[in-house]
């Protein structure tokens, strides 16, 4: 206590200055409308900036949960798209009655392991058979095709990436609807390029044309895969088209596993057709 009094007495002039200066400012602000308004505005701006910084920090801490919510919402919205519906048209006395049923639903999963620089690349996700994941399901992200479910355990699943020598996806050119097989061109292990094969060479293809899913495989029709970079001939009858993929496989965090409610029926019918030939 004695040291405190010594300190105050030693710097009493400074403390008196602060006291009188504060009182002068208070009186000025109270008795002058312009200074009062300026002070209020300044204090609001200062407090607002503090609130903004706190809010930004809070949002940063909640990014993981926010991403989860957004991914779940995207999965729901995808299931409501026209391309996810099965349209049953019934003709009665020349009147068409349209009934839309959901054919494709989407299961959100987080990528917990990924490779992009090998000849055959795989991903692992944190969803498995307990969430309805099955071998052979297609997997997409918000930007395009990811791959095909390969192995499943109760809580995890592995994906055969699009960046795999054995992955073939049925894809088509948006302008002409000509379809072929999309495969990964493993030259230099470029994770952002693929090759669209088996397109007839009479089809006119321009750089920049969009490449989409054809709907003839595991994926709903019309999902954007990428853009045409350039074309080249493969033999006398077909083109090899280089495609810049939309997906950046190096930054994948959340994916959507596609559940086709008619998949088993379709596969069984095709199996029976082959057996009966």
Looking up residue 116, the CATH number of its domain turns out to be 2.40.10.340
Percentage of the residues of the chain whose pLDDT score is greater than 70: 62
* Domain identity same for 35 and 116: no
Q: Which position has the higher pLDDT, 179 or 217?
A: 179
Residue 48 has a CB neighbour count (10 Å cut-off) of 10
Task: Name the helix (H) or strand (E) containing 251.
Answer: none
* Domain identity same for 112 and 200: yes
* Domain identity same for 200 and 115: yes
* Domain identity same for 127 and 224: yes
* Domain identity same for 112 and 191: yes
Query: Which two three-digit tokens encode residue 206?
Result: 């321009």
The dihedral sign for the CA sequence 134, 261, 270, 173: negative
* Domain identity same for 15 and 130: no
Tell me whether residue 236 is in a domain: yes
The domain tally of the chain equals: 2
- Measured distance CA(140)–CA(105) in Å, rounded: 12
Tell me whether residue 89 is in a domain: no
Tell me whether residue 100 is in a domain: no
Q: Over the stretch 137-164, which tens digit does the pLDDT of each residue have?
A: 999 988 889 999 999 999 999 999 999 9
* Domain identity same for 111 and 33: no
Tell me whether residue 272 is in a domain: no
* Domain identity same for 38 and 153: no
Q: Give the mean model confidence (pLDDT) for residues 235-251.
A: 87
| Confidence tier at 76 by pLDDT (50, 70, 90) | low
Tell me whether residue 155 is in a domain: yes
Q: Which position has the higher pLDDT, 123 or 8?
A: 123
* Domain identity same for 29 and 128: no
Helices 33-61 + 63-79 axis angle, to 10: 70
The strand pair at 145-152 and 104-114 is best described as: unpaired
- Which residues of the chain form beta strands (DSSP E)? 85-92, 95-102, 104-114, 120-125, 138-140, 145-152, 157-164, 169-173, 179-183, 193-200, 210-213, 224-234, 238-245, 254-260
Q: Over the stretch 206-215, which tens digit does the pLDDT of each residue have?
A: 899 999 999 8
| Confidence tier at 184 by pLDDT (50, 70, 90) | very high
The pLDDT score that the predictor gives to residue 150 is 93
Specify the DSSP class assigned to residue 155: S
- Of 165, 169, 113, 117, which is closest to residue 139 (Cα–Cα)? 169
- Measured distance CA(211)–CA(132) in Å, rounded: 29
* Domain identity same for 233 and 125: yes
CA 92 centroid distance within chain: 42
Tell me whether residue 238 is in a domain: yes
Query: Which two three-digit tokens encode residue 53?
Result: 């910084």
- pLDDT higher than threshold 70 for residue 52: no
Query: Which two three-digit tokens encode residue 54?
Result: 């706190």
**Host domain of residue 10:** 2-50
* Domain identity same for 132 and 221: yes
């Amino acid at each position: 206590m004695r040291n405190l009094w010594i300190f105050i007495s030693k710097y009493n002039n400074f403390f008196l200055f602060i006291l009188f200066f504060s009182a002068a400012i208070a009186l000025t602000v109270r008795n002058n409308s312009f200074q009062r308004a300026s002070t209020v505005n300044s204090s609001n701006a200062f407090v607002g900036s503090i609130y903004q910084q706190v809010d930004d920090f809070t949002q940063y801490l909640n990014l993981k949960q926010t991403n989860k919510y957004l991914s779940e919402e995207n999965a729901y919205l995808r299931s409501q798209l026209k391309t996810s519906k099965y349209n049953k048209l019934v003709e009665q006395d020349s009147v068409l009655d349209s009934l839309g049923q959901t054919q494709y639903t989407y299961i959100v999963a987080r990528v917990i392991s990924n490779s992009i620089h090998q000849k055959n690349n795989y991903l692992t996700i944190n969803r498995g058979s307990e969430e309805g994941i099955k071998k052979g399901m297609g997997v997409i992200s918000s930007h395009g095709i990811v791959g095909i479910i390969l192995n499943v355990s109760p809580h995890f699943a592995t994906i055969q990436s699009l960046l795999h020598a054995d992955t073939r996806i049925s894809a088509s050119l948006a302008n002409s609807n000509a379809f072929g097989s999309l495969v990964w061109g493993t030259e230099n292990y470029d994770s952002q390029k693929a090759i669209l094969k088996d397109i007839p060479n009479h089809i006119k293809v321009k750089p920049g044309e969009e490449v989409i899913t054809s709907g003839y495989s595991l994926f709903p029709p019309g999902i954007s895969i990428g853009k045409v970079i350039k074309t080249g001939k493969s033999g006398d009858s077909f083109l090899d088209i280089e495609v810049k993929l939309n997906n950046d496989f190096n930054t994948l965090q959340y994916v959507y596993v596609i559940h086709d409610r008619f998949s088993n029926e379709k596969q069984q019918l095709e199996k029976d057709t082959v057996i009966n030939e």
